[in-house]
Amino acid sequence: MYLICFFCVLNEFTTNKVIMMTSEECYGYEYLDEKDKEKIDALNNPKAVKVIDRFLKICKPAKVVVIDDTQEDINYVRQLSIDLGEEIKLEMPGHTIHYDSYFDQARDKGNTRLLVPVTEKEKYGTHINTIDRDEGLKEILDIMDGCMKGKLVVIRFFCLGPTNSRFSISALQITDSAYVAHSEDILYRKGYEQFKRLEGSEDFFYFVHSAGELTEKNVTKNIEKRRIYIDLEENRVFTVNNQYAGNSLGLKKLALRLAINKALKENWLAEHMFISAVYTLDKSRKTYFLGAFPSACGKTSTAMVPGNAIIGDDIVYMRVDKEGIPKAVNIESGIFGIIKDVNPKDDPEIYKALTSPCETIFSNVQITDEKPYWLGMGDDIEIPEIGINWTSSYLGEWKTGKKDEKGNELSFSHPNARYTLRIEELENADEALHDPDGVKVSAIVYGGRDSNTSVPVYQSFNWSNGVFVGAALESETTSATLGQAGVRKHQPMANLDFIVVPLGQYFQSHLNFVKEVKEENHPLIFSTNYFLKDENGKYYDEILDKKIWLLWAEGRVHGDYDAIKTPIGYIPKYEDLVDLFKGAFDIDYEKSRYEAEFSIRVGKFLDKFDRIEKFYANEKDMPEEFFFELEEQRKKLLEAKEKYGTDTISPFLFS
């Protein structure tokens, strides 16, 4: 009834005779047959040849296949993942399930390190996990020596950003995981033909991944030797002894790190942001927004607000065009999303796609009778009491009440379980998804989790102040994540985990970005907070109220609304929110709620700025503008407190 053995490996890929190539003119590619060698030759790229040659010799696979952009090759990869047991077909056509190791269920921050010359370590600050470059290279290459023995290796070519575009970055992937290769087919654009357009240029990223030695259940064995090392000097990433996509899919957050460094040098921005088209209520106008939100702060739900359209939910590249207009693209064409709490009420578009026939990979959810089940999928869904899940490769079949070795009850689906699907499968996908010119960026939203300080939405005074708003972004933990609620974690631009350059340089690049942008095209910057609570601990906002804050921000972009100037920025007028709530939801927005939500809590903001100042105290080369904005905000808050004689200032006092 249940598939326990989803990890077996086909013998044909470990017993095939290896084709030896003796000619010195054949690059020493003893692992490639003539057809695959021709595919490499057609790239006319000496660096790619050198990279492939070197790492095949180091990793020592049994067989290699080179995949181009043809549908035949792409279909081969998907079927290969199924044949190897890395994915299993489910009842719904196009759906498969993949399981990672029990010990490989999330991004491994501790073993993700930047290779940095020991003499330069100090300049990178305390937020970056580094290792001496020479030491790290020796370690990782020793670990990777022979790591692909007995395996079939897939060589892939992808494009980050739309193809044939000034945003395009070519990427070469070498992996012994068919699941990784298949995932990238869904998440990224074909890149073999784009690689040819390089015309021999060395300007590309490359990634070498291995799941490493496997157990009898076909999951990574040497977890203690898991390493994810990023080399900015060579624009490359090595990742070994892992299977979870966040650690093994180099083109995602690992490539974001490479792109941030590249962008800094070339005066553009690579950011951890969504792109969404915000429509007016009558659908007469749409405006493109970018948004940066730390985990559990509403990023995906904001990108997917009903009535709007989505281009991307995770990573953008932003450049200024010849007309002085900031443009952005989604570097991906798919979504690798957390599936927990995706249900018909809160995420109708995603839920519909996940329950329809289309190419979708589920990971680390429960499977019973070839059907997937996940946490928060809907109150009316009855979860089977027995099945296969993320614990099965380690602890066997799951059933209700089963506990781990420490006596903790095991959930039927992992809280970080994922889905992988193409954005085109969503009915609200925007038509500009693959536009090589990108879309005009009119607004940027920074959103954090904050129970007692900030208002639901406000607009920064200008670009420089907006950069400060992003740099001061915080996220408040919940008891569900760390066991202690209310701890403020600093998350500048929701990007701290991925910034691989000194923070001062990173913020300066944001300040510099608009120097080539015509003033009338400067994106407006907004801050949102969906998590403000009343004195009883109840949220003021309902889940879909974020639509109102976006509608107001969209109107501000086009001058539809006046606003109230406060010490922190511009906030909405009460009467405008009344109209928006009535028009969108046909509900009355009460005056008492407005006053509670949009009062300026002076003391709380001053406490926040103290935390921010302390966080940045030891960062080198911080822009002067940052501390100017910090002091200006403090000054305005103190002046307002003195003027109105209260620590909590009603919005009606400012109007």
Please give the positions annotated as active site. 297
Task: Please report, to the nearest 10 degrees, the dihedral formed by the alpha carbons of residues 232, 233, 235, 241 taken in order.
Answer: -70
Residues 552 and 281 sit within 8 Å (Cβ to Cβ): no
Residues 316 and 287 sit within 8 Å (Cβ to Cβ): no
Nearest to 606 by CA among 571, 570, 642, 573: 642
Q: What's the CA gap between 201 and 193, in Å, rounded? A: 14
| Tokens at 251, concatenated | 């083109």
Kindly tell me the burial class for residue 370, based on how many C-beta atoms sit within 10 Å of its own C-beta (0-12, 13-18, 19 or more): middle
Helices (H), 30-152: 34-43, 46-59, 71-83, 133-144
Read off the DSSP letter of residue 127.
S
Cβ neighbors of 414 (< 8 A, separation 6 or more) are: 105, 364, 365, 389, 390
Cβ neighbors of 190 (< 8 A, separation 6 or more) are: 69, 74, 157, 158, 159, 163
Largest CA distance in the chain: 86
Cβ neighbors of 611 (< 8 A, separation 6 or more) are: 474, 488, 490
Using left for φ > 0, alpha for ψ between -120 and 50, and beta otherwise, residue 5 falls in: beta
Cβ neighbors of 563 (< 8 A, separation 6 or more) are: 459, 556, 570, 571, 572, 573
Q: What's the CA gap between 412 and 415, in Å, rounded? A: 9
| Tokens at 285, concatenated | 């106008």
Helix (H) or strand (E) holding 265: helix 255-266
DSSP-based three-state secondary structure for 580 = helix
Helix (H) or strand (E) holding 373: strand 371-373
Q: Which amino acid is at 284?
A: S
Nearest to 90 by CA among 351, 360, 343: 360
Residues linked to residue 227 through DSSP beta bridges, in sequence order: 240
If you compute the radius of gyration of the chain from its CA atoms, what whole number of angstroms results?
25
Cβ neighbors of 247 (< 8 A, separation 6 or more) are: 104, 107, 108, 112, 226, 228, 239
